[in-house]
Chains A and B, each alone.
Chain A
Amino acid sequence: MMRKLLSAFLLLFFTVPLVTNAFGISPPGLSIDRLVKGSEYEATVFLVRQDSKSDLGVEAAFDFPDKVKSWITIEPNPLVIPAGVQQFPVKVRIRVPENADFGIWSGLITFKTVPVNQKGTAGQQVVIAVGASLSLTLTVGEGVFADFKITSVNILDIKEGESPKIEVTLENTGNVPISPDRATLDLFDKFGQVRLGFGQTENLPETPAFKTKKFIVEFPIDIKLGLGEYWAEAKIYRGETVVGDTKTVFDVVEKKIKWFVWVIGAAILLVISYLARSFLRKRFRR
């Protein structure tokens, strides 16, 4: 009788759990439509949260057709967002095998938070876990797409005696390695009014398909630049089209001799003075 009474009531006892219950992903979708057999694609998405007081475990579930499931990996895996981090980068990699079929495939990677007080632990509760989905659409074809965009061009400060140089960031949005056709640099005085020189470089490095690369371009110019400020205008070309440019001031700064050069110099002087002293002593004795 007592047992029946006990089973008549279920105690579903809850307390407010100490869990992070807000979560997101940015961007929530990737449409990759330039894949070919053998392509390797990489993109970074961010898992986002506002409350970052503690570590947050995240589980990833893949929901894709069997044919493409093995192409897709994420890094890191397993995922733990460390305390203090609000935006956590996750790399999504697609490796299309050489024997892949042509086609269009779609699916989801669902990132789900692991509540701190999960069921079965000390907390007596049912919690609502939150998650966010990354939608992927993969298109495998046979066309060659050569395309890129320049995401930044910076004119760098240089040391006395060096050639003017720029830093370029290129995002290859095509499915073959690519490089810009040329880069030019016009050099001006500190007021940007008197043109002092011109440099051009055609040998620019390649960026692999679907990758972003940062590289330095130097412009040997037949004039010696003294210390001070100069203006320069740099342009990056694809064919005859300017696809990236900037015009700004840069500094030529003093070339400092590093401390170990001073140490070596001092050591050589000591050795020479010691040898000279020994030599003179011997000669004086004679």
Chain B
Amino acid sequence: MLKFKPMTILKAYILSALVGAFILFVSLSVIPVLADSVTPSVTVGNAAPSVSAVDISPATITLTENGTTTITITATITDSNGCSEVFTGGTIKAQLYRSGVSGAGSCSADPNNCYRNITMTDVGGTCAGGSDTSGNASGTVQIWYIAEATDASSSFSTETWQVEVIATDSSNASSSATDSTPPELSTLLALDVTASLSYGTVAANATSATVSASTTNTGNYNTLDAQFSGVALESGANSIAAAQQKYSTTTSEAYEQLDYTLSTTPTFRELNIAKATATTTPSKQGSFWAILIPAGQAAGTYNGTTTITAY
């Protein structure tokens, strides 16, 4: 039988205790360190937003004479980091322009062909925030009556009106898109004419002083002309034929020198009133009128209508 001395047994206990303590120390200190080193870690990168479904409304743009017309721009904005990155933390801007204008979406602001910095915002809370990645944006712009036409009869018949929508997120990443079915802008033929002519009191067998009326091109038609016609001036049963009135479309002269006799049939006259290029500077031209009262014409207050039709 194998025998151990009491001292040897004590040493074995102490050694075992030391080994145990060492293992315990390693367990408590090293293993947690190893566990820390395998914890998953990721940095979420920023994705640029995207712009889609860009649309200009109405599908064909019709202008309002001598004023502005509202154009609506819509788009869908998507951001993988959450749509609020754009709708709340970023910006959505649009530029509306004639497609062939110099610089396209980077064109210089001009009421004829380039409308810039149109602000677009969320429509009806479609970007719910949180994990919602997309929302619909909308913005409006007022375009002036001098905006250049792109329809078949215009100088820019191969072009359209286009919009560039730019979405920028809170990290300043951006992207843009345009309308895949951009609209035409129709030609507007329109005029604004002085409301009435006043010849004053005129004796029989005499001519009136020459009075003027103003015709303004209030559309985007390049060279406005007109047709002139009138009816007899009447006072009860008495009348003065329309042909007693004469007019000129160039210079103010005495009755005898005026160029044209007013006809009851619409008659074409070349005015060549150019399209205005600035909303503060109307493009207009005068016309000059006088009347010869026939001898023996009965006294009275005579009235009638003269018609000027844009052509």
Are the CB atoms of B307 and A131 closer together than 8 Å? yes
Q: CB < 8 Å: which of B78, B80, B234, B309 contacts A130? A: B309
Q: B71 at interface (Cβ–Cβ under 8 A)? A: no
Q: B302 at interface (Cβ–Cβ under 8 A)? A: yes
Which residues on the B side are within 8 Å of A128 (C-beta)?
193-197, 213, 305-308
- What mask results when residues 80 to 112 of chain A are scored 1 for a CB within 8 Å of chain B, else 0? 000000110000000000000000000000101
- What mask results when residues 254 to 266 of chain A are scored 1 for a CB within 8 Å of chain B, else 0? 0000000000000
Are the CB atoms of A192 and B78 closer together than 8 Å? yes
A209: shortest Cβ distance to chain B, in Å? 18
Which residues on the A side are within 8 Å of B216 (C-beta)?
22
Q: A221 at interface (Cβ–Cβ under 8 A)? A: no
Are the CB atoms of A151 and B181 closer together than 8 Å? yes
Are the CB atoms of B186 and A26 closer together than 8 Å? yes
Measured in the bound complex, the distance between the Cα atoms of B304 and A17 in whole Å is 12
Are the CB atoms of A245 and B180 closer together than 8 Å? yes
Are the CB atoms of A10 and B193 closer together than 8 Å? no
Q: A249 at interface (Cβ–Cβ under 8 A)? A: yes
Q: A284 at interface (Cβ–Cβ under 8 A)? A: no
Please report which residues of chain A, range 8-47, place their CB below 8 angstroms from some CB of chain B when the two chains form the complex.
8-17, 19, 21-29, 31, 46
Are the CB atoms of B196 and A127 closer together than 8 Å? yes
User: Known contacts being A129-B306, A248-B53, A249-B134, is A8 close to B203, with CB within 8 Å?
Assistant: yes
Are the CB atoms of A126 and B309 closer together than 8 Å? no
Interface of B is mostly: loop
Are the CB atoms of B306 and A130 closer together than 8 Å? no
User: Known contacts being A128-B305, A154-B53, is A16 close to B195, with CB within 8 Å?
Assistant: yes
B48: shortest Cβ distance to chain A, in Å? 13
Q: A229 at interface (Cβ–Cβ under 8 A)? A: yes
Are the CB atoms of A7 and B204 closer together than 8 Å? yes
Q: CB < 8 Å: which of A86, A124, A191, A245 contacts B303? A: A124
Are the CB atoms of B305 and A126 closer together than 8 Å? yes
The contact size tier of chain A is 35 or more
Are the CB atoms of A248 and B65 closer together than 8 Å? no
Which residues on the B side are within 8 Å of A8 (C-beta)?
203-204, 299
Question: Quick check: which of A114-122, A139-147, A174-182, A196-204 contacts chain B, the rest being far away?
Answer: A114-122
Q: B176 at interface (Cβ–Cβ under 8 A)? A: no
Q: A187 at interface (Cβ–Cβ under 8 A)? A: no
Q: B200 at interface (Cβ–Cβ under 8 A)? A: yes
Are the CB atoms of A17 and B52 closer together than 8 Å? no
Which residues on the B side are within 8 Å of A247 (C-beta)?
52
Measured in the bound complex, the distance between the Cα atoms of B157 and A31 in whole Å is 14
Are the CB atoms of B293 and A10 closer together than 8 Å? yes
User: Known contacts being A24-B310, A110-B227, A115-B305, is A9 close to B299, with CB within 8 Å?
Assistant: yes
Q: CB < 8 Å: which of B194, B301, B305 contacts A129? A: B305
Are the CB atoms of B59 and A127 closer together than 8 Å? no
Q: B73 at interface (Cβ–Cβ under 8 A)? A: no
Measured in the bound complex, the distance between the Cα atoms of B308 and A89 in whole Å is 22
- What mask results when residues 267 to 311 of chain B are scored 1 for a CB within 8 Å of chain A, else 0? 000000000000000000000000101001111111111111111
- What mask results when residues 142 to 184 of chain A are scored 1 for a CB within 8 Å of chain B, else 0? 0000000011111100000000000001000000000000000
Measured CB to CB, the nearest residue on chain A to B208 is: A12
Q: A69 at interface (Cβ–Cβ under 8 A)? A: no
Most buried by B among A46, A128, A154, A249: A128
Which residues on the B side are within 8 Å of A169 (C-beta)?
59
User: Known contacts being A25-B189, A26-B187, is A17 close to B196, with CB within 8 Å?
Assistant: yes
| Extra inter-chain contacts (4) besides given A48-B190, A128-B213, A133-B309, CB under 8 Å | A6-B298, A115-B305, A129-B305, A229-B133
12 CB-based A-B contacts, threshold 8 Å: A7-B297, A10-B201, A10-B293, A12-B200, A12-B208, A14-B198, A24-B191, A128-B307, A131-B310, A132-B190, A248-B52, A249-B76
